[in-house]
Amino acid sequence: MPSPWGWFAVTACGGAGNNFEEPVALQEMDTSNGVLLPFYDPDSSIVYLCGKGDSSIRYFEITDEPPFVHYLNTFSSKEPQRGMGFMPKRGLDVSKCEIARFYKLHERKCEPIIMTVPRKSDLFQDDLYPDTPGPEPALEADEWLSGQDAEPVLISLRDGYVPPKHRELRVTKRNILDVRPPAGPRRSQSASDAPLTQHTLETLLEEIKALREQVQAQEQRITALENMLCELVDGTD
């Protein structure tokens, strides 16, 4: 259930001495009364906290040793979020070292927020992408209702890795002595080699001016069409 956006509590789990009534750690967030939307990534032990009506995403690392909760960073934007969605790990782009993707709900649009880890290597990053729960269920509904339990069916994300394509650089050396002018009588000075006259210069300037006016008119036409498209999209929402 969503919690008040002000305090974030971590409850102990695992082991014979479970105590779900008392938190093992408390983290003060702010004094807002908005709804807290937590998203936990068990592969990286990172919990992302989004507040409805807030414009930031705070994320913490959860460990088994005190103080259990370690602040990492805050992502901030200008507009507040009306809601937030979280992409499953198997839907991320592993070739770009993407570790989380959120879908921020605005009044008339949904904005993707992508979080990546910068890496220089082009290889698959095993430390970022351990085996993660896949789409296949570990139990059927009847089995779970009968009291059975099972670990999730894990899959590898290595098959989703697409290595970047490196363009092969080829250098071809040419001997300038091999390029010889064709034999024949020498040509006289052509019209293209003749110096520009005042009349030719004025003609070129007029053509350039006409081309600039045509480009500006096309830009205005494109802007008007884009505005019409935005109005149509907003009207269908």
d(CA 213, CA 75): 44
- In the prediction, which pLDDT does 5 show? 46
Let me know: does 19 contact 27? Beta carbons within 8 Å.
no
Buried b (16+ CB within 10 A) or exposed e, 196-223: eeeeeeeeeeeeeeeeeeeeeeeeeeee
Segments of the chain scoring below 50 in pLDDT = 1-5, 12-17, 167, 190-191
Summarize pLDDT for 28-48 with one digit per residue, the tens.
776 667 788 899 999 999 999
d(CA 217, CA 33): 52
Buried b (16+ CB within 10 A) or exposed e, 49-71: bbbbebeebbbbebeeeeebbee
- In the prediction, which pLDDT does 15 show? 40
Select from 87, 85, 95, 86 the least CA-distant residue to 157: 95
- In the prediction, which pLDDT does 12 show? 46
- In the prediction, which pLDDT does 225 show? 85
User: What does the H/E/C string look like for 104-168?
Assistant: EECCCCEEEEEEECCCCCCCCCCCCCCCEECCCCCCCHHHHHCCCCCCCCEECCHHHCCCCCCCC
- In the prediction, which pLDDT does 143 show? 93
Domains of the chain by start residue, with CATH? 7-133 (2.130.10.10)
- In the prediction, which pLDDT does 194 show? 55
48 in helix, strand or coil?
strand
Let me know: does 49 contact 60? Beta carbons within 8 Å.
yes
